[in-house]
Amino acid sequence: MVAKGALYFLLSVLITCGPDLALARHFPGRPSIHPAPYQPYKAIPLSSTRQKNKVCFVKPGHSKGHDDGPAIRAALHKCNNGGTVVLDKEYTVCSPLDLRFLKHIDIALTGKVEFCTNLDFWQQNFFTFQFQDAASWWVWGGEDIHLYGAGTGVIHGNGQAWYDAAAANESTRRPCLFITDGWHGGSITGLKLRHSPNWHNFIANSSDLLISDIDIFSRSFSSAWAANLDGWDTFRSDNVVIQNSVINHDDDCVSFKPNSTNIIVQGLHCNGSHGISVGSLGNYPDQYDIVSDLFIYNNTMANTTTAARLKVWPGAEAIKKGNPQWVGGGGQGYVRNVTYDTMINDNNNLAIQIDQCYGAINASECEDHPSGVILEDILFKNMWGTANGADDPVAGQLICAAEESCDNIRAENVTLTNPSGEPPQWQCRFMDVDQLDLGGVGCIPA
């Protein structure tokens, strides 16, 4: 959604990437969207002025199988360093795009960009990351970049082809819809993200970034499960605000992966997710994972498995569940200074889940091989709403692996209602119950 008062410029001079565009066209200027109500931990740097006569309109091809990737790349090169690229038509990308050269540029994506469904080609031509097999068909990065959709721009991943392929062959590598790798300063606003094959957004190695007014919707329309469709995953990133967005999908609404610091998440409506999650962490032995200074404010969680969630792997030696995906553990690190404040629960399994035994086959394995990732200074406050009865009367789980692995875990003004009318129970292990105002019957042994 574009902020009121966004200006529309009529260009007097036109730089075009399409040979038939002889007349200037209208396009929306960058919207005036700011972090609110809470400000980022550090001020996001001011953007340099864009030149009104340095604009590239990208003309799409119309032949069958045409690849608009080269034209988009050419426009971004041509109008880099002070210009604006306008993507106001329908485009198809069939080749990988490395866009980590961007600098002082606006991109008005008010049309639609979708990706070819040539799965065999993409399997061999993704940009790949070592962390949890993340991959994508394009990667964005640089300095002072503003990408905005004015409430109409669409990025479409044609996810159904990928869901069906993964159901037939679980080794199919599914791409993330959007990846940043080294994006420093700027914003991503007003976009519709549709049918991602995998995570919608992987925010990696980036900083000083505002993400706002995003509309996410991904579902499978066949018997194939549309799994792992996280809204945002942050990784090795600092000073990021994610706000005022609607997410309808499967898996984590937001997930803070290793070395996510100084992040605010506010004003989200997450439907059908696994919650706003810290982790999973401690997945890789010999790695030290840090997550710190997170403020998660005024979010609505509907039809979720868990609303507020922290998930940490046990020691590497712990026996894991039989699912082939449950491998890992043994890493070290800490989660520190995390606040969940004002969270509405609407028909959720659990309101809070601390799981420091993520993937362990049972509690004894977790206790024998506790996690090396320490949880400290965690606060849950002002949480209310309804459970869905899936775990009735249990409304949450606060489970640490050992007494020394959790410190200063607090809860204030947490009130949940069970559909049975039974007072909520909270399964706890290695918790200081004097710091937990959870309502209901409070903590019971896990």
Domains detected in the chain: 1-249 (2.160.20.10), 252-446 (2.160.20.10)
Place of tokens 């200037």: 24
Q: Which of 92-96, 199-203, 310-314, 363-367 has the lowest mean pLDDT?
A: 363-367
The token duo for 422 is 């039974």
Q: Is the distance from CB of 166 to CB of 148 less than 8 angstroms?
A: no
- How far apart are the C-alpha atoms of 208 and 223, rounded to whole Å? 40
Burial of residue 371, with CB atoms counted within 10 A of its CB: 0-12 exposed, 13-18 middle, 19 or more buried: buried
* Other Cβ atoms within 10 Å of 439 Cβ, number: 18
129-179 pLDDT, tens digit each? 988 889 999 999 999 999 999 999 999 999 999 999 999 998 999 999 999
Arithmetic mean of pLDDT, 285-297: 96
Give the active site residues: 274
φ/ψ of residue 364, rounded to 5: -65, -35
C-alpha distances out from residue 167 to 164, 225, 229, 262, Å? 5, 7, 15, 37
Mean pLDDT score across all residues of the chain: 93
At 121 the three-state DSSP class reads helix
Tell me: cis bond preceding 220? Omega within 30 of 0 counts.
no
3 has pLDDT over 70: no
- pLDDT of the residue at 7: 35
Ramachandran sector of residue 441 (left: φ over 0; alpha: ψ -120 to 50; beta: rest) = alpha
Determine the residue type at 188: I
What pLDDT shows up at residue 6?
Answer: 40
Q: 83-100 burial string, b = 16+ CB within 10 Å, else e?
A: bbbbbbbebbbbbbbebb
* Residue 57 and residue 18 in contact, taking contact as beta carbons nearer than 8 Å: yes
Which helix H or strand E contains 119, and what residues bound it? helix 119-125
At 343 the pLDDT is 98
Residue 258 clears pLDDT 90, i.e. is over it = yes
Q: How deeply is 437 buried, as exposed, middle or buried, from its count of CB atoms within 10 A (0-12, 13-18, 19+)?
A: middle
* Burial of residue 313 (number of CB atoms within 10 Å: 0-12, 13-18, 19+): buried
Q: Is residue 246 pLDDT above 80, yes or no?
A: yes
Q: Which 8-state DSSP code applies to residue 125?
A: H
Strands (E), 303-331: 306-312
pLDDT at 396: 97
Produce one character per residue of 11-26: b if its CB has 16 or more CB atoms within 10 Å, e if not.
Answer: beeebbbeeeeeebee
| DSSP assignment of 3-71 | PTT--EEEPSS-EESSTT--S--EEEPPP-----SSPPSSPPPPPPPPPTT-EEEPPPP-STT---HHH
The two structure tokens encoding residue 153: 């721009």
pLDDT per residue as tens digits for the range 316-343 = 999 998 877 788 899 999 999 999 999 9
